[in-house]
């Protein structure tokens, strides 16, 4: 790092311009006042001043030689280094005359002459990169790679599918495959009207429409965040549909008596393959989500520990098929194995390869149970999770303890920060043992 140079009573930064920036910087040497007569202050300021020059030159290079995305980011950076927020040209035209004149004056280069790259930045001439709606999901998938690093191939399919559906629905609503940057409030409202028409003619639900809006809002936010947009458009802000005629939905629980009388009856589950049967049995005594069980790697089934249990957590691997993402951080938990769940786990100590990273379990088991009249009307096997919490509630356990055992966010339930240690595995075991069913001989 070059030392500051004293001229009169003021210290200056003096550094030769690297050859890399010769195409965008006419001066061979930079002289810049550090506006201080203190050498120690000058040393502290010189690095920041020089870094600002380098960032500006890099932005100029990107604005001249980069692709559309690089040029757009560079334009925002160049505008910022000159004290302006990047505005599109139509907004610059509508700005106060004084600001427009200041922007025009700021468009000159170090040689005092107008600079095309700088002018494009401060006057908003640089266009945002073009991307069609049909390419938005693939583009965002690349941007979200780090966030999705735990997802296996099936989880990525489930991540991708509703976003593709949302984009395709927007394209249908607009009647064309538009540029992403052309999607504004008018387009979002047109999308909303399209959904309202479907609700009227097809009986579609408001919840389904609102999922579309939320997915598009999230993808557009990532798109503009990647461009480092200073004032990103939010076309879906406030866009939602409320249907006062809709009935609130809640997954029905499997009645306790039904589990004991129907599912535990001899031969009742014999028509299921052994993996499907034992996943079902484990769900009864763990309160797990179905995919938390059938996606278990062998390392997460801890049968040899003093307290046999399941470890529900993210799994990271170079092999996409061995990754696992659980729903959220609150879902990271240890679940003691008791009763029919422990017996089932012992039959499958390495997990359930037939269903791992697939989406076929739920449909297959629901179909079998319905065919053999083993499910109450309006109930699915997902209701075992709700039954488990109801059993805890009837045993007198409070909302916070039930939520922690279920893998719910206590902060979300309470609406405030949570304090104190979480339940230990032995405490969790005490709860599970208190509410567990007796194990029939044929399921041991």
Q: Report DSSP letters for 21-69, one per residue.
A: GTTT---SEEEEE---S-HHHHHHHHHHHHHHHHHHHHHHHHHHHS-HH
- Separation of alpha carbons 355 and 274, rounded Å: 12
- How high is the pLDDT of residue 341? 96
Encode pLDDT of 396-424 as tens digits. 988 888 888 888 766 655 554 554 457 89
Asked if 136 and 167 count as a contact pair (C-beta separation under 8 A), the reply is yes
Compute and round to an integer the Cα radius of gyration of the chain: 31
Task: Give the CA dihedral 160, 162, 163, 166, nearest 10 degrees.
Answer: 160
Contacts of 372 (CB under 8 A, 6+ apart): 268, 271
- Which distant-in-sequence residues (6+ apart) come within 8 Å of 324 by Cβ? 150, 152, 155, 295, 297, 314, 315
Run of H or E including 155: helix 153-174
Beta 10-16 vs 5-7: how paired, if at all? antiparallel
pLDDT of residue 421: 57
* Residue 5, phi then psi, degrees to nearest 5: -115, 135
pLDDT in tens, 311-351: 999 988 887 777 888 888 888 899 999 999 999 999 999 99
Q: Is 386 helix (H, G, I), strand (E, B) or coil?
A: helix
Query: For the sheet containing 333-336, what is the strand order?
Result: 301-302, 309-312, 333-336
Report how far residue 383's alpha carbon sits from residue 16's, in angstroms, rounded to the nearest whole number.
Answer: 71
What's the start-to-end Cα distance of the chain, in Å? 74
Helix, strand and coil content of the chain, in percent to the nearest 5, comes to 55, 5, 40
Handedness of CA 218, 220, 223, 225 (dihedral sign): negative
Residues of the chain under the 70 pLDDT cut: 1, 23-24, 26, 59-60, 62-71, 73, 110-111, 127-129, 230, 245-250, 409-421
Instruction: Flag whether the pTM goes above 0.75.
Output: no
Q: Which residues contact 219 (CB under 8 A, 6 or more apart)?
A: 136, 137, 140, 163, 166, 167
For the chain, the residue count is 444
Selection from 209, 203, 152 nearest residue 326 by Cα:
152
User: Are the beta carbons of 332 and 312 closer than 8 angstroms?
Assistant: yes
Q: Which residues are CB-neighbours of 436 under 8 A, at least 6 positions away?
A: 285, 338, 339
- DSSP letter at 132? B
> Which top CATH class is 256-443?
mainly alpha
The helix (H) or strand (E) run that includes residue 273 is none
């Amino acid at each position: 790092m070059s030392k500051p140079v004293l001229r009169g009573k003021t210290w200056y930064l003096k550094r030769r311009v690297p050859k890399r920036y010769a195409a965008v910087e006419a001066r061979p040497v930079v002289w810049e006042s550090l506006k201080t007569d203190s050498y120690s202050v000058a040393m502290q300021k010189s690095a920041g001043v020089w870094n600002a020059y380098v960032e500006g030159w890099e932005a100029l290079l990107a604005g001249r030689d980069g692709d559309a995305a690089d040029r757009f980011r560079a334009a925002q950076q160049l505008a910022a280094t000159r004290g302006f927020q990047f505005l599109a040209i139509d907004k610059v035209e509508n700005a106060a005359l004084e600001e427009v004149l200041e922007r025009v004056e700021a468009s000159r280069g170090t040689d005092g002459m107008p600079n095309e790259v700088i002018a494009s930045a401060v006057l908003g001439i640089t266009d945002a990169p073009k991307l069609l709606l049909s390419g938005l999901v693939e583009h965002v998938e690349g941007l979200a790679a780090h966030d999705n690093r735990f997802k296996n191939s099936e989880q990525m399919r489930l991540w991708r599918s509703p976003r593709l559906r949302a984009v395709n629905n927007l394209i249908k609503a607009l009647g064309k495959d538009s540029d992403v940057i052309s999607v504004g409030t008018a387009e979002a409202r047109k999308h909303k009207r399209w959904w309202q028409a479907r609700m009227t003619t097809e009986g579609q639900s408001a919840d389904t429409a609102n999922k579309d809006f939320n997915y598009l809002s999230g993808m557009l936010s990532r798109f503009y965040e990647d461009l480092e947009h200073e004032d990103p458009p939010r076309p879906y802000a406030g866009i939602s549909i409320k249907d006062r005629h809709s009935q609130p939905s809640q997954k029905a629980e499997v009645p306790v008596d039904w589990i004991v009388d129907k599912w535990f009856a001899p031969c009742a589950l014999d028509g299921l393959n052994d993996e499907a049967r034992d996943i079902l049995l484990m769900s009864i005594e763990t309160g797990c989500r179905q995919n938390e069980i059938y996606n278990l790697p062998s390392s997460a089934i801890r049968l040899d520990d003093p307290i046999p249990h399941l470890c529900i957590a993210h799994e990271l691997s170079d092999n996409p098929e061995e990754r696992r993402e659980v729903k959220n951080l609150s879902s990271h938990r240890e679940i003691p194995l008791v009763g029919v769940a422990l017996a089932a786990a012992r039959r499958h100590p390495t997990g359930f390869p037939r269903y791992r990273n697939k989406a076929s379990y739920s449909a297959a088991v629901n179909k079998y149970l319905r065919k053999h009249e083993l499910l109450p009307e309006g109930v699915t096997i997902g209701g075992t999770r709700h039954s488990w919490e109801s059993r805890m509630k009837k045993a007198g356990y409070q909302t916070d303890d039930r939520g922690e055992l279920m893998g719910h966010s206590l902060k979300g339930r309470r609406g405030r920060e949570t304090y104190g240690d979480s339940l230990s595995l032995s405490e969790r075991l005490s709860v599970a043992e208190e509410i567990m069913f007796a194990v029939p001989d044929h399921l041991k």
